[in-house]
Amino acid sequence: MIHQRLFAEFVATGLLLVTVVGSGIMAERLAGGNDAVALLANTLATFGGLYILIEVFGPISGAHMNPAVSGVMAARGELPWILLPSYILVQLAGALCGALLSNAMFDLPLLELSAKVRTGAGQWLGEMVATAGLLLVVLRAPASRVAVMVAAYIGAAYWFTSSTSFANPAAAFGRMFSDSFAGISPGDVPAFVVAQAIGAALGATIHTLLGKPHA
């Protein structure tokens, strides 16, 4: 039912932000100023959390947790266009709630804006690459392996992209409400979202040019 699909997207996206932001806060506190160790811990938590969330919520809503993914799925006819605005709305709401919950769990101000600057042509290009790759994996992965392949790709992209692979407009939106390791300054979010949209379109185009995946 539609309300169950939307609720699943809200909860899944919220838990995704709890995973990313919460593990970032914990990692930053325990790493003693070593950003490489903090990023590694953040990566491992995100890999595990993303895999579980896709497995649990995928059968209900598709577990998009990402307006870029939902937009491409609507363009391909795999998500009704009439549901796209609702999907995006609950994803953004879930992302906000997930960030606020992370702040609350770690005794940070409930509502705060990040001061972490993430900008520049290199990071925008990184977001294009990250999102294009994500969509390529989503569209070409066998149904039985999509969860582990998406989680593995995002985990790897944390390290091979200059932006640490947000690859998700909802995540960028939510992460601006936590002034922590995973945060992003609100002023830097629009450029990230534009780069993600371009990357999503590029990934879908590459998928089309490659043809139907072999069984």
pLDDT band with cut points at 50, 70 and 90 for residue 212: confident
At 193 the pLDDT is 98
The pLDDT of residue 151: 98
Place of tokens 């790493």: 31
Q: Which residues constitute the domain of residue 23?
A: 2-210
pTM of the full predicted structure? Answer: 0.95
| Confidence at residue 71, expressed as pLDDT on a 0 to 100 scale | 98
Whether 163 maps to a domain, the answer reads yes
Q: Is residue 133 part of a domain?
A: yes
Average pLDDT, the chain: 97
As a whole number, mean pLDDT of residues 142-157 equals: 97
Question: What confidence tens digit (pLDDT) does each residue in 61-85 have?
Answer: 999 999 999 999 999 999 999 999 9
Task: Please report the DSSP string for 81-146 in residue order.
Answer: GGGHHHHHHHHHHHHHHHHHHHHHHTT--SS--------SHHHHHHHHHHHHHHHHHHHHS-GGGH
**What CATH number is attached to the domain comprising 72?**
1.20.1080.10
pLDDT at 213: 79
CA dihedral 189, 146, 53, 159 (to 10 degrees): -50
Residue 109 has a pLDDT of 95
Q: What is the pLDDT of residues 23-54, one digit of tens each?
A: 999 999 999 999 999 999 999 999 999 999 99
Does residue 140 lie within any of the structural domains? yes
| Count: domains in the chain | 1
Residue 215 is assigned to a structural domain of this protein: no
Question: Is residue 46 assigned to a domain?
Answer: yes
Q: Residue 214: is its pLDDT beyond 90?
A: no
By the 10 Å C-beta count (0-12 exposed, 13-18 middle, 19+ buried), 55 is classed as: middle
Is position 205 within any domain? yes
Query: Does residue 1 carry a pLDDT above 90?
Result: no
- Residue 128 has what pLDDT? 98
For residue 169, being part of any structural domain is answered with: yes
Q: Is residue 184 part of a domain?
A: yes
Q: How confident is the model at residue 215 (pLDDT cuts 50, 70, 90)?
A: low
* 147: pLDDT strictly greater than 90: yes
In this predicted structure, what is the pLDDT of residue 207?
A: 97
